[in-house]
Amino acid sequence: MGTVVGTVEDRRDMFEGNAQTRITPFSSTNQIGNPVAYKLVRVSGDGSLVPATDEEILEVNDTDMHIPSDTCQTIGYLATDEENVEVDETDMHIASDACQTIGYLPAEGIPSRLSQIESSEAINSGLLHSDNVQPYTDQVKSRSEYNEEMLQKVEQEERLENVHGSQMPSTPADANIQCSNENNFFEEDQVHHEALLQDECKMNESDMMERCSNAVASPKETALSAAAQKPDFSRVRGEICLDNLPIKALQETFRATFGRDTTVKDKTWLKRRIAMGLINSCDVPTTNLRVKDNKLVGNQEKSNDVTNAIRKEMGDDVRATKMKDAPSSTDHVNGHSNGGNHYYASEDYSSEQRAAKRVRKPTRRYIEELSETDDKQQNDKSVIPSKDQRLSEKSEVRSISVSSGKRVTVTRMVSLAGSEIEVPYVSHVRRSRPRENIMALLGCHSSYLEDKASAAESNLNLSPSQLSSEVVNRDSVEKSASRPVQNEFATSDENNVEHILSEVDQEMEPEHIDSSGNSSDENNIGVPIMQGGALRRKHHRAWTLSEIAKLVEGVSKYGAGKWSEIKKHLFSSHSYRTSVDLKDKWRNLLKTSFAQSPSNSVGSLKKHGSMHIPTQILLRVRELAEKQSQ
């Protein structure tokens, strides 16, 4: 029979001398229909592979034996010898055969590191389970369920695909499954597990990076050499081959992969499905679904920057897909819930709506961040994926930073060269610039000041990159720090402040009545405490009913958008309400009024803590909004 590919010599520390049995795939060139068979071996204490005894084999045979072949079909991956060598040469403690077991797509260009990470999942998912109790049944079943689940997802998506004829949001990633397996594996010592993982990651970081770059550099070569050796599988080689196939061939490949026909004619969809099948995961990036100029474009749309492109292909897209998919598989139901609608970038809906809006280019801060991290990437391989490149994709792209290793309690998944690892979480302090002189906002009431600047967003959680950017901005910090210190009103003096103001403006009077109850005294709640006066936030003032009424009145009189007019005429007394404030408040009013009334006019299902706005006003808001829109 074939040869056993790979060994597990370095896994001793994990197995602690436990003897276990596992299924090892091996390549076979003479079984065309069933290319990868599995040989049952036992991993003895010293890591060597011992052929399974007859009893063990029988035990396996008692279980669903169709699974391995299914798996083979689904996975359809055969590593070339070079790849095996490559994997074996690492100190990643990952058995290369596990790598094959989970399967991966060389042509897709997923760096070997990804497969390594997944390999560890494969190990945890049972193939190399350290638990000796029922080593096969559970594992094989979990495999079975896994595959089944994925097939179900595929089918479901296919249905949707057929209905809509466009790319659907992919189903939630399988992260849960993998994670749970991981948890099982280390359930006695979860913390240790995490620490261990991180240690491993750190230890091997440079090594892996090197290897990754190698793999990245020539994904095609890998694929080609693989194809050359195993021409039988050219069909399931991944994107590069799939790209050139006509739809019909893709459908055939789909059938070969999933064992059934499909009527879907969408090439992209087919490719992705096939890829999903090949890596036995739904985490297939929608690499060829890049949104550009409100249209879906193919992956021919590549960035000139090769590194960039690769990074996006490998990391960001994988992650973005996950992030986008994970939170709600019901996005396609809502149609335009967050992050969902870019799939519906159907010309009629999105572009029209978008055309009406101002087009925004990426913010300067974003650009700075990006360039900064691009530089960083050369050094510490961290990546801050771009949000704006995925235009309408609102999915929260997790950013990256290499931790200094202090906090291990909170972690998040980050992408490193396409793989996903957990690193300690560092909060993103984005404020890079202190506020301008606050007096500029206070207009004529120069005596009025907002309360003391206090230390809030301290530097405690800054990541290295953030720290550096912080240093860059020191000069501007100094600018506001040097601002003359003025009298400060204590929080309890809020009403006094308003008295002062009301002396200036008699319009303050009615305001004062209803504001005293629900806002003034609580206004200081949630005011961030900032450091050294450098970073200060405008005093939070809850909008009072009379203010809201004025705003509504102003909108009805001058129209929404004439904020400065409204401010001038109706808010002259409230110096602290800038035109931007009015605009923001109006926006919020619109939101609440539309969110609330259609379903149940009386309902007033408000968020806990937000002020109760009379439905009367909300109705008026809606009325005005509808009038404005016409």
Partner DNA sequence: GTTAGGG
Partner DNA sequence: CCCTAAC
Element of type H or E holding 163: helix 137-164
Decide: is 550 part of the binding site for DNA (CB under 7 A). no
Cα torsion through 253, 259, 264, 269, rounded to 10: -60
Q: Shortest distance, CB of residue 227 to DNA, whole angstroms? A: 42
Decide: is 435 part of the binding site for DNA (CB under 7 A). yes
Q: Three-state SS for 36? A: strand
Binding residue for DNA (CB under 7 A) from 1, 304, 347, 357? 357
Binding residue for DNA (CB under 7 A) from 42, 202, 230, 538? 538
Binding residue for DNA (CB under 7 A) from 141, 193, 445, 540? 540
Please enumerate in sequence order all residues whose Cβ is within 8 A of that of 315, keeping only pairs 6 or more positions apart, or say none: 383, 385, 415, 416, 417, 418, 419
Decide: is 539 part of the binding site for DNA (CB under 7 A). yes
Decide: is 394 part of the binding site for DNA (CB under 7 A). yes
**Side chain identity at 25, as an amino acid letter?**
P
Cα torsion through 416, 421, 427, 428, rounded to 10: 20
Rounded Cα–Cα distance for residues 25 and 4 (Å): 7
Binding residue for DNA (CB under 7 A) from 13, 244, 364, 608? 364
Q: Shortest distance, CB of residue 588 to DNA, whole angstroms? A: 7
Binding residue for DNA (CB under 7 A) from 193, 336, 562, 569? 562
DSSP strands (E only) in 231-338: 290-292, 295-297
Closest Cα to residue 106, out of 219, 260, 28? Answer: 219
Sign of CA dihedral 443, 446, 448, 451: positive
Max CA distance (Å), the chain: 97
Please enumerate in sequence order all residues whose Cβ is within 8 A of that of 365, keeping only pairs 6 or more positions apart, or say none: 430, 432
Residue number with CB closer to DNA (360 or 607): 360
Q: Shortest distance, CB of residue 382 to DNA, whole angstroms? A: 20
Question: In the window 152-181, what residues touch DNA (CB under 7 A)?
Answer: none
Q: Shortest distance, CB of residue 331 to DNA, whole angstroms? A: 16
Binding residue for DNA (CB under 7 A) from 113, 272, 273, 541? 541
Question: In the window 472-511, what residues touch DNA (CB under 7 A)?
Answer: none
Decide: is 457 part of the binding site for DNA (CB under 7 A). no
Binding residue for DNA (CB under 7 A) from 230, 336, 431, 452? 431
Question: In the window 101-130, what residues touch DNA (CB under 7 A)?
Answer: none
Evaluate whether 577 touches 567 at the Cβ level (below 8 Å): yes
Q: Shortest distance, CB of residue 437 to DNA, whole angstroms? A: 11
Decide: is 537 part of the binding site for DNA (CB under 7 A). yes
Binding residue for DNA (CB under 7 A) from 55, 355, 361, 409? 361
- CA distances (Å), origin 312, targets 79, 238, 326, 429: 25, 18, 19, 24
Element of type H or E holding 419: strand 419-424
Decide: is 581 part of the binding site for DNA (CB under 7 A). yes
Residues lying near DNA in the complex (CB under 7 A) are found at 356-361, 363-365, 387, 394, 431-435, 536-541, 560-565, 567, 576, 579-581, 583-584, 587-588
